[in-house]
Amino acid sequence: MEKQRDLLFFCLVLACSSSFLPWVSSSSEGGPEKAPPKLLFVFGDSYADTGNTEELSVAWVPPYGSTFPGEPSGRFSDGLVLTDYVASYFGIESPHPYRLRNHVNKTVLQHGMNFAYGGTGVFDTMAKEPNMTTQIDFFQSSVEQNVYTKHDLSSSVALVSLAGNDYAAFAMKKGKPEELPSFIASVIDQLIHNLKRIRGLGVGKIMVTALGPLGCLPQLTAVSSFKNCSSKWDSIARLHNLKLRQSLQELKTNESITGSSCLSSSSSALTVLDLDSAFISAFDMLRHRSGELSENPLKPCCVGMTAGYSCGSVGDKGVKNYVVCDHPETSFFWDNIHPSQYGWRAVYSFLGSSLHHLL
């Protein structure tokens, strides 16, 4: 069951190119400087979830949250995750989880809202939590209830971070290799549709992550003692990323020809966060770091003590069935799938040029 749970939260993000792909224009093209976004809306999976997943999730049990905030907070890490670092770049407080919106003062929602749920995908996955379409439904409902004004939305940015779980579900459902190209195409088509819908609801700018090196996840590198990435899963990521690049370019080209306004606006832009390059760069940095605390970047910090257990597993009598490494502050991966706070900070350090285009 623990292994299945791990696979359900196979939540990598969509990383294809670090290039800035404006749908119409940007300040670098001669326009006036734009004010930085004031609100952040998040759609995605466990790489972006900051507390939406139900309390039965592993993200709500120790040792998750041990680095920040010191106790489980619904983040799939020992501390901060991608959402937190992206928010900090814009000087925005990390947006509050949608599921917990009724438990806080409404002023807390002025920074935006996080609709991401761990284990989810563009389509339904093996997890019961809402997919991207439903997450956007939640956002639309908030807009229709006037939680956010048109002015709020015009000065907002959206983070879209998901798709890895779609491929995990494809594998668990025994999808055939020859069906993979058409499945990837369907994932990308739906993702593009969703991006248009987010923009149509008034969000000023959108950043989308593409798949990172799926084959380098600890649950796949364990068979090689965390030394070699899976070429099979890395090839899936490359196919996804190629199709994403092509679709975004086609979108840009078609809109420039037709003058479509669905995604085109002087205040809108699309930036792709290249998690693939960022992960690989972080791995290389850690491998070449000098000092006795240097760790194998593919080796997770928190693992089950034996087969069948995973990070956070506890026996009937409260006995811990997991172990935590001595130095989580120097481990890239926290568990079999998710980066640690240290890992996310390393990844974030390589995303600055892409994020800068949204200022």
Tell me if residue 49 is catalytic: no
The total number of residues shown for the chain amounts to: 359
Best CA proximity match to 133, nearest among 192, 84, 93, 91: 192
Task: Please tell me whether residue 272 adopts helix, strand or coil conformation.
Answer: strand
Phi, psi of 353 (to 5 degrees): -65, -35
Give the Cα separation of 216 and 221 in Å (integer).
Answer: 6
Q: Which of 41, 104, 50, 91 is nearest to 72 (CA)?
A: 50
Please confirm, yes or no, whether 46 is among the known catalytic residues: yes
Dihedral sign of CA atoms 294, 297, 302, 308 in order: negative
Say which residues have a Cβ less than 8 Å from residue 89's Cβ, sequence separation at least 6: 348, 352, 355
- Our answer to whether residue 335 is catalytic in this structure is yes
Q: How far is CA 105 from CA 19, 100, 101, 109, 142, in A?
A: 39, 11, 8, 8, 15
Q: Phi and psi (nearest 5°) for 237? A: -60, -40
Which candidate, 187, 202, 85, places its Cα nearest to that of 139? 202
- Please identify which of the residues 335, 340, 354, 357 carries the catalytic annotation: 335
Peptide bond into 177 cis (omega under 30): no
Distance, CA of 279 to CA of 350 (rounded, Å)? 9
Instruction: Tell me the two tokens of residue 140.
Output: 């639309």
How does strand 205-209 pair with strand 269-273?
parallel
Nearest Cα to 8, choosing from 345, 335, 236, 342?
Answer: 335
Q: How far apart are CA 219 and CA 221, in angstroms?
A: 6
What is the maximum alpha-carbon separation in the chain? 66
- Catalytic residue (one of 18, 46, 57, 77): 46
User: Residue 339, SS3?
Assistant: strand
Active-site residue, selected from the candidate residues 96, 111, 240, 338: 338
Active site residues: 46, 335, 338
